[in-house]
């Protein structure tokens, strides 16, 4: 089978944005906002992780093309019990960047979980309420 041949497709501006949510305890959210996480700032670490992951999507997903990305940006919306992360990816390419956006936002959420897991565990070392949900592409654009 192999990779899809995109040789004849024109290079155009492509953009995709994906979002996802991590559900955390209100105490964990408060500690994040107050800068009280042992490993450092989880939002900053998650942003770096998202950028690195988006750039390596072609390594992680076998049929994805290697795309030189023009930008990867990450944003957050914090509520009392969750953090919604968004990852915007833009490139001049022959194929879309939605998988890069999905991989980016997923890694941001995974990194957030890793940074606060010691606060989220119950007495048995489990995560009964912590969860990552609603990962999706919210927007995709091709051309101007």
Domains of the chain with CATH codes: 13-142 (3.30.70.640)
Supply the mean pLDDT for the chain.
96
Q: Is the pLDDT at 144 greater than 80, yes or no?
A: no
**How confident is the model at residue 1, as a pLDDT?**
73
Question: What does the pLDDT look like over 53-71, one tens digit per residue?
Answer: 999 999 999 999 999 999 9
Query: In the numeric block, which tokens belong to residue 143?
Result: 């051309």
Helical H segments across the chain, by residue range: 26-33, 42-55, 57-60, 98-120
Active centre residues (catalytic)? 114
- What span, in angstroms and rounded, lies between the C-alpha atoms of 38 and 28? 12
């Amino acid at each position: 089978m192999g990779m899809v041949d995109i040789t004849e497709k024109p290079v155009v501006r492509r953009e995709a944005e994906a979002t996802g949510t991590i559900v955390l305890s209100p105490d964990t959210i408060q500690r994040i906002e107050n800068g009280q996480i042992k490993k450092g700032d989880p939002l900053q670490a998650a942003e770096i992780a998202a950028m690195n992951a988006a750039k390596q999507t072609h390594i992680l997903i076998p049929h994805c093309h290697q795309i030189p990305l023009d930008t990867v940006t990450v944003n957050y919306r914090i509520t009392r019990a969750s953090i919604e992360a968004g990852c915007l990816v833009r490139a001049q390419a022959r194929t879309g960047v939605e998988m890069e956006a999905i991989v980016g936002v997923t890694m941001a959420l995974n990194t957030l979980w890793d940074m606060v897991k010691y606060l989220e565990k119950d007495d048995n070392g489990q995560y009964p309420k912590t969860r990552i949900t609603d990962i999706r592409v919210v927007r995709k654009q091709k051309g101007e």
